[in-house]
């Protein structure tokens, strides 16, 4: 049983390592090669890889509330094929993961909760 758990744990570590590398590659591409003005306020917040490394959910937010979520998501979708192709070359994986960009609203949610807590103190 422990061997089985060890293998599962190793898979989890690998998917997390690949996710971290993928995030670095995407951030580098956005900084150096993709010059879409809709992406200038983009902040990558994390990535979640499937265990088989075939799916990647890349989470993003917008700095300072600038830009709109929909415009940014459209720009990321437009650049998605380029990002995936370049990531495949840089990561040297057998399969290049399908990349899905998802807006991370955790910062907005935290502000909303803080406001409710402050309101409750009054």
User: What rounded mean pLDDT belongs to the chain?
Assistant: 85
Which run of H or of E encompasses 102? strand 98-103
User: Per-residue pLDDT tens for 24-67?
Assistant: 999 999 999 999 999 988 999 999 999 899 999 999 998 876 67
Number of domains in the chain: 1
**pLDDT for position 98:** 95
Q: Does the pTM exceed 0.75? A: yes
DSSP 8-state code for residue 96: P
User: Per-residue pLDDT tens for 11-22?
Assistant: 558 889 999 999
**pLDDT for position 105:** 85
Farthest-apart Cα atoms in the chain, separation: 57
Structural domain for 12, as ranges: 2-121
SS3 13: helix
Q: What is the CATH number of the domain that holds 13?
A: 3.30.300.20
Q: What is the DSSP string of 17-84?
A: HHHHHHHHHHHHHHHHT---GGGTTEEEEEEEE-TTSSEEEEEEEEGGG-S-HHHHHHHHHHHHHHHH
9/76 Cα distance (integer angstroms)? 32
Antiparallel, parallel or unpaired: β 98-103 and 42-49? unpaired
Q: Count Cβ atoms within 10 A of the Cβ of residue 90 and give its class: 0-12 exposed, 13-18 middle, 19 or more buried.
A: middle
Residue 55: phi and psi, rounded to 5, are -130, 135
């Amino acid at each position: 049983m422990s061997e089985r758990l060890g293998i599962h744990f190793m898979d989890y570590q690998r998917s997390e390592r690949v996710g971290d590398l993928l995030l670095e590659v995407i951030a580098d591409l956005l900084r150096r090669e993709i010059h879409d003005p809709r992406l200038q306020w983009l902040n990558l917040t994390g990535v979640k890889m499937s265990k088989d490394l075939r799916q990647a959910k890349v989470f993003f937010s917008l700095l300072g509330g600038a830009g709109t979520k929909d415009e940014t998501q459209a720009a990321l979708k437009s650049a998605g094929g380029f990002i995936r192709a370049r990531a495949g070359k840089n990561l040297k994986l057998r399969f290049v993961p399908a990349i899905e960009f998802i807006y991370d609203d955790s910062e907005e949610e935290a502000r909303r909760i803080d406001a409710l807590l402050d309101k409750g103190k009054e």
